[in-house]
């Protein structure tokens, strides 16, 4: 019941959501681990995922590719004259999948960020063939960004596990106060999860379309 977590852009809260999912899974007795295949810039996201994961994982497994330039992977690799080894990343994911019930794979940046000259985050997600959850920050423009990302996910033949609206309880303007209602209208048949400190989010629904219905039943019954 692993999951690929993507964002409508950079800085929308993917790591925050991934950490929340890991804590929630582990609180329900699920042995879960995070994975950040590629970090660009510092390695803080990977460290946060490591701290939230079950024991028995190293940061090198969780984050097999670390480029120190804070730009897209394709550009960082050129700057550092490094090669992004996709085979190594895929092998790390397969090994983690054998050892943990759930792996939360956090993509780098947004859905169409270039990893290499001719391969994007979306292509990598397609290789993993996991259900995709889309994280969006509750701000002006998120309706457009969510719908474009969802359309692209579905066009690639991947299952959308849900849309996660982050920071729904922050300072609000008119767009922020209406985004949730409008997304519920627009996302027919798509699970919408609202990350709001005032109400516990329904995270179980994110895993309803994964390949482990037995574990999903466990999550909904506990």
Which residues are designated catalytic? 36
Nearest C-alpha neighbor of 165 from the set 134, 141, 209, 189: 134
Residue spans of beta strands (DSSP E) within 8-137 = 32-35, 38-40, 65-67, 102-110, 114-116, 119-120, 132-137
> Contact, 34 vs 49, CB < 8 A?
yes
96-100 long-range Cβ contacts below 8 angstroms, 24+ apart:
96/33, 96/35, 96/57, 96/61, 96/62, 97/2, 99/33, 99/56, 99/57, 100/31, 100/32, 100/33, 100/54, 100/57
């Amino acid at each position: 019941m692993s999951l690929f977590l993507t964002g409508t852009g950079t800085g929308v809260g993917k790591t925050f959501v991934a950490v929340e999912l890991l804590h929630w899974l582990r609180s329900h007795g699920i042995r879960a681990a995070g994975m950040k295949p590629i970090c660009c810039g510092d390695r803080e996201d990977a460290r946060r995922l490591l701290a939230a994961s079950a024991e028995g994982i190293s940061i090198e497994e969780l984050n097999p590719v670390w480029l120190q330039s804070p730009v897209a992977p394709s550009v960082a690799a050129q700057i550092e004259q490094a090669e992004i080894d996709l085979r190594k990343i895929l092998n790390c994911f397969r090994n983690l999948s054998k050892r943990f019930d759930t792996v939360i794979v956090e993509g780098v940046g947004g859905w169409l960020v270039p990893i290499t000259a001719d391969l994007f985050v979306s292509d990598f997600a397609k290789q993993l063939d996991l259900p995709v959850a889309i994280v969006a920050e509750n701000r002006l423009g998120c309706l457009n960004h969510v719908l474009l990302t969802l359309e692209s996910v579905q066009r690639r033949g991947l299952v959308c596990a849900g849309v996660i609206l982050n920071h729904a309880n922050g300072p609000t303007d008119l767009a922020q106060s209406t985004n949730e209602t409008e997304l519920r209208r627009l996302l027919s048949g798509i699970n919408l999860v609202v990350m709001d400190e005032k109400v516990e989010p329904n995270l179980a629904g994110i895993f309803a379309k994964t390949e482990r219905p037995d574990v999903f039943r466990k999550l909904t019954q506990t």
